[in-house]
Amino acid sequence: GLPINGPTLTWPLFRMMSAASDGIMIAVIVLISVLVTLIALFCIRFTLLAKIEDDYREIGVMKAIGMRTSDIKGVYLTSYTVLAAFGSVLGLFLSLLLQGPMKESIRMNLGDGGGNTLGLMMGGAGVFLVFSFILLYVNGVLRRFRKISSVQAIRFGAGEESVSGVKRLRLSENRLVSTNLFLGIKDVLTRKRLYVTMLVVIVLASFIMILPQNLYNTISDDDFVSYMGVGSCDIRLDIQQTDGIDSKTAEIGEHMAADRGIEKYALFTTKVFRTRMEDGTVENVKVELGDHFAFPLQYAKGRMPMSENEIALSAINAEELGKDVGDKITLLTDYKEIPLTVCGIYSDITNGGKTSKAVFSDDFTGTAWSVICADLSDPKQLEDKIYEYGTRFSYAKVSSIDEYVSQTFGQTLRSVRISALTAAVVAVAITLLVTLLFMKLMVTKDRQSIAVMRSLGFTNLDIARQYMCRSVFVLAIGVVIGTLMAGTFGERLAGMVISSFGATTFHFTVNSLFTYFISPLIMLFAALIATSLATFRAGTVHIYEYIKE
């Protein structure tokens, strides 16, 4: 007994609205969290290896005086247990402080569901899991104590490093690049296994920076309207939850027909029909009737309806109804049955993703709402036309298509923008930290090599430049791989999330300036700063301390 044009909000639609805004932000944050945790393990590895290199001679002495390997491991494991416990507790405390602002949007949309105790328990369990995983990882890295020779450690203060020779790269035959650049690149190619860890981190950091930005560019792009089941137009008028929708729609159509400022327009009315499922149950189907040639959509499969016996379904609608292009569907009314053939499937993330489009005429079923789309003869008159139609037809919601997308998807845009900015900051911080730790490790491992180079006449600036070349070389390869991953695997990953809302033909809209220029430049700048800090004192190694033979 409720009116046909009443509110059509349902619990699945509320969940869809929440998932399309906060859900995307949560998905991005979870992805970043997993990648950052993985990168944190690499940072721990760098730090631990650098500490072992610093204490190499002391470890050799401890083994020489009879200390067991397990006892030596216990010394280091205890230190890292304390650090990991302190970091885990601090992280849990910070999460409790930040959960209020992070949950504000969800609380506004869905209310406070309670369950704070359960949430706290789950958070504590997650922290304990990360804490345990860190300790297991540290214990695995400390296994290299078994391979340390006490004689080697006491005599040289460093272990033997296995390298794969690059026979064709000889300094004497180099005529193309500077000596420092040649030696830097050759060191990377010679010790590939050592540098691959830093490469993986740079790849992940690039992925973290570029993927959310590509997602934001796609959602904020003008063409994203095609994923909302709406044709591209200049101005849109919505008429709903009022009396006489059909007559009011016709009134606006007559005015537009006489308006010279309107280049073309189309009237669309949405009606709710019923269809019988294979199991005998009856489901409601929202069908938008009108001239779909005027403002066409992009179809994932098939084409738009061209005759009165055809219907196009949104992706989610087609999935739930179990229909594909070429299948038959029958709409039920109080007066007759309407047999139709599915001619196309399109993306739509509005109205719970359950819509359909047809061109047949129906004068018996009530109208749920109507939409009028129009293109202007002069786009510069957009604001004036919005004001004119908004004032003349006060019962209609008048907006530009950009404003419609902003009002419909604005919360999602804000959430993804915040996630993209956060991801960029995290990626830069990761690049800075990892490069700093890795280059400090390399300087510690290369003390003997640095001493040899200094004895041959290399200056402190030459040595620093060689490390600069190493970090830039690895960074360049990592950024290229990370960018390719974000554009391929990242697009598929984002497409899986977006397609669950009804956008099956999802493709990234890439901001070439940011992706291919600004992003690599920022990461390069961070890597150079970190390398400069790490190699600041590399040239101060005393020759007599490390050249023994």
pLDDT digits (tens, 9 = 90+) for 234-258: 999 999 888 889 999 999 999 999 9
* CB of 237 closer than 8 Å to CB of 388: no
- For the residues 485-493, what does the mean pLDDT come to? 83
What DSSP element (H or E) covers 416? helix 401-445
**Residue 54 reports pLDDT greater than 60:** yes
Q: How confident is the model at residue 382 (pLDDT cuts 50, 70, 90)?
A: very high
Query: How far is Cα 126 from Cα 136, in angstroms, rounded to an integer?
Result: 15
User: Comparing 438 with 7, which gets the higher pLDDT?
Assistant: 438
Distances 291 to 139, 151, 281, 313, 436 between C-alpha atoms, Å = 68, 87, 31, 16, 62
The strand pair at 310-314 and 337-346 is best described as parallel
Q: What is the per-residue pLDDT across 14-50, written as a single tens digit (0 to 9) for each?
A: 565 555 666 667 777 788 888 888 888 888 887 787 7
CA 87 to centroid of chain Cα atoms: 26
Calculate the CA dihedral of residues 295, 300, 302, 304 and round it to 10 degrees.
Answer: -20
Q: Which regions of 277-309 does DSSP assign to beta strands (E)?
A: 282-290, 299-302
CA angle 9, 11, 16 (to 5 degrees): 85
Query: How far is Cα 291 from Cα 505, in angstroms, rounded to an integer?
Result: 23
Q: Which residues contact 526 (CB under 8 A, 6 or more apart)?
A: 428, 431, 432, 435
End-to-end CA distance of the chain: 98
**Residue 79 reports pLDDT greater than 90:** no
**Residue 502 reports pLDDT greater than 60:** no
User: Comparing 346 with 408, which gets the higher pLDDT?
Assistant: 346
- Lowest mean per-residue pLDDT among 256-270, 355-369, 380-394, 505-519: 505-519
Tell me, what's the pLDDT at 549? 47
Tell me, what's the pLDDT at 354? 81
Closest CA to 398 of 376, 414, 415, 378: 376
Tell me, what's the pLDDT at 388? 93
Query: How far is Cα 130 from Cα 107, in angstroms, rounded to an integer?
Result: 28
Mean pLDDT in the chain? 81
Calculate the CA dihedral of residues 63, 69, 72, 73 and round it to 10 degrees.
Answer: 150
**Residue 408 reports pLDDT greater than 80:** no
- For the residues 150-161, what does the mean pLDDT come to? 59
Tell me, what's the pLDDT at 219? 76
User: Comparing 1 with 293, which gets the higher pLDDT?
Assistant: 293
